[in-house]
Amino acid sequence: MSLISAFTSSEALVLNAPAPNFDLFDHSGVRHTLEDYRGSWLVLYFYPKDNTPSCTAEACALRDNYTPLQQEQTQILGVSIGSEGSHQRFAQRHQLPFPLLIDDGDLARRYHALFQLGPIKLAKRHSFIIDPAGRLRKIYRKVTSRSHAQQLLIDIKVLKSG
C-alpha cells in the first residue's frame, strides 16, 4: 500500500454541472449548505492545514480581497480537515471575515481535493467558483497562494460578463 493515496469519486466534476452539495458547520458552529448561497457567487476553497505558511498566505490574500469580492456579489468559504478549535484560532489570529468549514474529508473527496499521507487526511489546495444557480463555473487545481485571490476576482468578473 502506498504512503500517499489519492481519493477519487466515480463522478467527474464537469463545468456548468451542479456543484456537489455540502452541509457542514464552520469554526463558529454555524451550519452552511450549498443552498444557502443560491443567488450569490461562491468561492469554495480547500486548503491543507491551518496556520501553515502557504495556507496563511492564501487566507490572508482572500481576506485582503474580501471587500472587492463582496462587491462582485461573491461569498467565500474555506474548507479544511481540522478541528473547530484549530479553525477558530486560525480565523481569529488572521482576522478572517469568512467562514472556515470543518470537513471530515467527505466534501474534499467529492470535490476531488483529498489526499492522504499515511493515516493523515489533508485537503489539496484547490478552489472552485460556483455561480448563483449552484453550478461549477471554474475549477482551479493549481493554486498560487499569494496571487490566487486576484485571479479569482478577475475570473469572477469575466464569468459575470458572460
- Mean pLDDT, the chain, integer: 92
Active site residue 60: no
Axis-axis angle for helices 53-64, 148-161 (nearest 10) = 40
> Can you read off the three cell numbers belonging to residue 114?
483529498
Give the H/E segment covering residue 138: strand 136-140
**Residue 11 banded pLDDT, cuts 50, 70, 90:** low
Q: What are 54-77's pLDDT values in tens digits?
A: 999 999 999 999 999 999 999 999
pLDDT at position 42 is 98
Of the residues 42, 43, 55, 101, only one is catalytic, namely 55
CATH at 37: 3.40.30.10
Counting the structural domains of the chain, the total is 1
- The domain of 30 spans 4-161
* pLDDT over 80 (residue 46): yes
pLDDT at position 8 is 43
| Mean pLDDT confidence for 121-140 | 97
